[in-house]
Structure 1
Amino acid sequence: MRRLLAGLTAAVLLSACAADTENPDGPVQMESTLSACPEQPGEPARGAALMPALAFDCPGGGTLDLSRAPGVPTVVNLWGSWCAPCREELPMFQELANSAGEQVHVIGVISKDGVPQAESFASDAGVVFPSAFDGEGELMAELGINVLPHTYFLDAGGALVHTQVGPVASADELRGLVAEHLGVQL
C-alpha cells in the first residue's frame, strides 16, 4: 500500500511539472516594471547621421525601431544591469523622463543583459521609463562600441545630433545636454 501511494504521489507530481512546462500559447510572459515603448510614426528616420536600422522588442510592450523617426526629440541610453556606471546614472534618466513628459522621449536599450537581471535592477532603482531589449548587443556591435554607457540624442526626424560617451555626472548635466542638442528646456 505504501508503494502504491508513493507511486501515485510521484505520478501526480510529475504530471504537475509537465503541465507547467507545456504551454500551447508559448512561453509565459511576465509583467514588466518598464513602460511600453512609445508609438512611432511610420516615417523613415532622416538626417545626415542616423542610428543603425535595427528594431528591438520592449519588455513593457511595443517596439523600438531605430529606422523610423521618433516624432519627438529622443534620448536613447544604452545600459546593462552589469554596468556599474549605468547603475549610477540610470535614476537620472528616470528623473529626465519624469520631467520631460511628451517634450522628449527617454528610451533605454538593455544591452548584453538578460531580461530578468535588467528588470530586477530597474525595479530596485525605481526605473520605469521604456527600454528595448538587445540581449546580444547587436546595437553595440553596429555602433562599434564595447563599453557602456553610451547615450544618443535624436531629433524628431531621427537624426543623430549628439553622442554622450560614458556616464553623465548629474541630472543638471543631462538637462543641459537636452537643451543644447535637442533645443528643449526642462
Structure 2
Amino acid sequence: MNRWGAVFVILLVLGTGWIWVSRLPAEAQSVQRNAEPAIGHPAPDFALETLNGENFSLAEHRGTPVVLNFWATWCGPCQRELPSLQAASERYAGQVVIVGVDQSEPAETVQRYVDELALTFAIPMDTDNEVAHRYNVVGMPTTFFIDADGIIRSTWTGEMNSVTLAEGISTIFP
C-alpha cells in the first residue's frame, strides 16, 4: 500500500469513528459525575478512622455546626490554610466542629505534619478517597460549611484565609 493509501485508510477510520460517536446519546459521550452535594441539602454522612485511631462520624455531630475540610500534606494551599483552621478550632471550641479529612496519604506522613503544626482538630483518614468522591471533591483544599441540622450552607474550593473562613463559619454559626 502506498503512502496516500495509508493516509486514506486512516482518515476513513477516523471519520467513521467520529460519525459513530456523534450518534451516541449525549449521556454516553461523557463521564457523568454526581453533582456536588448542593447548598441547602443534607451533607452525606460518613464514618472514618481518625489519625489517632478514633472513629469520626459526621452524624454524631448533628446539633453542632461543622467545618469539613478536605486536604493533603503535599497541597500548598492546604498547608497555608491549616493554621487558620487551627485558630478557628480554638476560637469556636465546643461550638463548631472543625474536621480536616486527609486524602489517601500514609498515616506516618500525616502525623509528622500534624505534630509539626500542632493541629488539635479531628483528622479523619480517607485512605481510599471514598468520602472525597461522595462529596465530589475535585481539587484541594475544598471546604463544606454544614449547619447544626446537617445541611450544607456554603462551600469553598481553594485556599481560605482567616477572613474567608470566618465568612463561611458565619453561614452556620451566628
Write the distance in 2 (CA, Å) between the matches of 1:77 and 1:105.
Answer: 11
State the one-letter code of the partner of 1:113.
Answer: E
Contact 2:96 2:173 in 1 (8 A): no
After superposition, the C-alpha distances for 1:105-135 in whole angstroms (9 at most, x for unaligned) are 1111111212111111111122121111111
Structure 1 stretches of 4+ moved >4 Å: none
> What displacement does 1:56 show?
0.5
Are the aligned partners of 1:78 and 1:149 in contact in 2 as well (CA < 8 Å)? yes
Aligned counterparts of 2:167 and 2:136: Cα–Cα separation in 1: 26
**Residue type at the aligned position of 1:122:** V
Higher helix content, 1 or 2: 2
The answer for the alignment partner of 1:18 in structure 2 is none
For 1:107 and 1:132, locate their aligned partners in 2 and report how far apart those are by CA, in whole Å: 7
1:1-186 to structure 2, matched below 5 A, reads: 49-168=41-160, 170-179=161-170, 181-184=171-174
Question: Which letter does structure 2 place at the counterpart of 1:133?
Answer: M
Q: Which residue of 2 aligns with 1:34?
A: none
Larger radius of gyration: 2
Corresponding letter in the other structure for 1:101:
A
- The AA in structure 1 aligned to 2:172 is L
- TM-score with structure 2 length normalisation? 0.71
Contact 2:40 2:153 in 1 (8 A): no
| CA positional deviation for 1:60 | 2.4
CA contact 2:143–2:157 (8 Å) conserved in 1: yes
Asked if the contact 1:72–1:156 (Cα under 8 Å) also holds between the matched residues in 2, the reply is: yes
Structure 2: 5+ residue stretches without partners: 1-38
1:53 maps to a residue whose letter is D
Task: Identify the residue that residue 23 of structure 2 maps to in structure 1.
Answer: none
How far off is 1:143 after superposition? 2.1
Q: CA–CA distance in 1 between the matches of 2:164 and 2:152?
A: 19
**8 Å CA contact 1:85, 1:167 repeated in 2:** yes
| Aligned AA (1:178) | I
1:113–1:135 contact (8 Å) kept in structure 2: yes
Paired residue total: 136
Unaligned 5+ segments in structure 1 are 1-46
Superposition CA RMSD, Å: 1.9
Q: In structure 2, give the amino acid aligned to 1:175.
A: A
SS in structure 2 at match of 1:146 = coil
